[in-house]
Chains A and B, each alone.
Chain A
Amino acid sequence: MCYIEAKLLESGEKILLDELIGKLSAMDKNHGNGALSIFVGLVKGELNEARVHELEYTAISEVAAKRLEEIARDICTKYSLSAVVIYHRLGRLKPGETTIYIVTMGTSRKNTNPAMIEALERVKKEVPVFKLEKRSDGEYWVIGDGVRYRRTLTPSPS
């Protein structure tokens, strides 16, 4: 039995890690789990010698939410875990704010650590989320894992 929770969060939505850990731990009635790995992504305040003022995340929301859940389910099965939680924020985020949470729970860190890393890499590649960096030297669309296109156009009206 694998507990899955995967969703997109609004920029101001609070996540209380202690509560989440308590909830997951309470599901483990026989105390068979020995490890819980957590990755939390943060907005960096400096990049390529420029100050980052803000990141703006957008998504194809209906597809992204489904993909997050599929990834969580795959990872849970592949690593024989008892729980996988993935939250990804959207909207405008300032340096120091959290962007993504990945939590994996299982019998050993030998399962939970690689599972957490693989889940993160899959989210980056497979979930339709997009990032705009607003920096002291201009605005940049981040494409894929690190290629940047300077924004030169005013957005078209919808």
Chain B
Amino acid sequence: MRITIRSYSIFSDFLGNEVRIELDESITVGELLDYLKNTYSLPSKPEPIVLINGEIASLDQQLRDGDTVYIAPPFSGG
């Protein structure tokens, strides 16, 4: 299955703006974050907020083929 990851703010320094990955089997959001920490040295702090297809996702949410995953720190608008 194919996942598109878009990262923002501090996380874009580690991942770039967009990464596409192919997986043999479905994984959870938490497992994806572990993979990104191991592969791209994504920092644990600040704690990432993950959105899937525009909605905030929990760590145990299962990813599906074609999902777009947004990884961002706490927001800082205004």
Contacts and interface: CB of A to CB of B under 8 A. Distances in A.
Interface of A: 41, 57-60, 62-64, 66, 88, 99-100, 120, 123-132, 141-145, 147, 149, 151, 153-158
B12 interface: yes
Given A60-B8, A62-B54, A63-B54, A144 B74 contact: yes
Nearest to A66: B54
Contacts of A99: 78
B75 A128 contact: yes
Contacts, number: 94
Given A124-B78, A141-B73, A58 B13 contact: no
B66 interface: no
A63 B77 contact: no
A153 B73 CA distance: 16
Prevailing SS type, chain A contact patch:
mixed
Given A66-B54, A123-B78, A147-B46, A157 B16 contact: yes
Nearest to B54: A63
Contacts of A130: 8-9, 72-73, 75-77
Contact of A124 (B10, B54, B75): B75
Nearest to B15: A156
B72 A156 contact: no
A143 B78 contact: no
Nearest to A89: B77
Contacts of B9: 58, 130-132, 141, 143
Interface in B23-76: 40, 46, 49, 51, 54, 70, 72-76
Contacts of B78: 41, 88, 99-100, 120, 123-124, 129
